[in-house]
Amino acid sequence: MAEMKLAVFLAKAYCLPILLYGCETWRMSSSDKHKLDVAWNNCFRKMFNACWRESAKPLLFYCGTMPVSLLVDQRKMIFYNKTLRSTNIALRVVCRLHLYEAQRLFSVYHVFPGHVGNVDIKRAVWARSASVF
């Protein structure tokens, strides 16, 4: 069991940041999100020696992680939230150019940009992921 915990820790610590590098700026279609989810699910299937036909959702839930598509949304919302609160005027102006996309993303999780903290965003995304499982 310790080997599994170590494998999950290593995947979350080393593979996930590489997989999500710069995702805050990506424009993703639903098929792009699906491809990322498939890659992350296959990683968990490989770690737990599961068949490719089995759902990886119980494995993700057991390990306390979310599908990558939700992690991307979470990181985007935290990024928008930080830029909206920034003291750098140029950064806030650039963020306001993409405000429609940010508001759409925040409305999916029922949080409001600029008025919530990062912990509230993480809570809202985790609650949504619990409904996915």
- Average pLDDT for consecutive 10-residue bins of the chain (133 residues)? 86 94 91 94 92 88 91 93 87 82 88 83 88 67
pTM to 2 decimal places: 0.86
Express each pLDDT in 73-91 by its tens digit: 999 999 988 888 889 988 8
Whether 44 and 60 have beta carbons less than 8 Å apart is answered as yes
Domain boundaries, the chain: 2-132
What average pLDDT does the chain have? 88
What is the predicted pLDDT for the residue at 133? 61
2-10 and 30-47 are packed helices; what angle lies between their axes, rounded to 10 degrees? Answer: 150
Quickly list DSSP for 66-86: --HHHHHHHHHHHHHHHHHT-
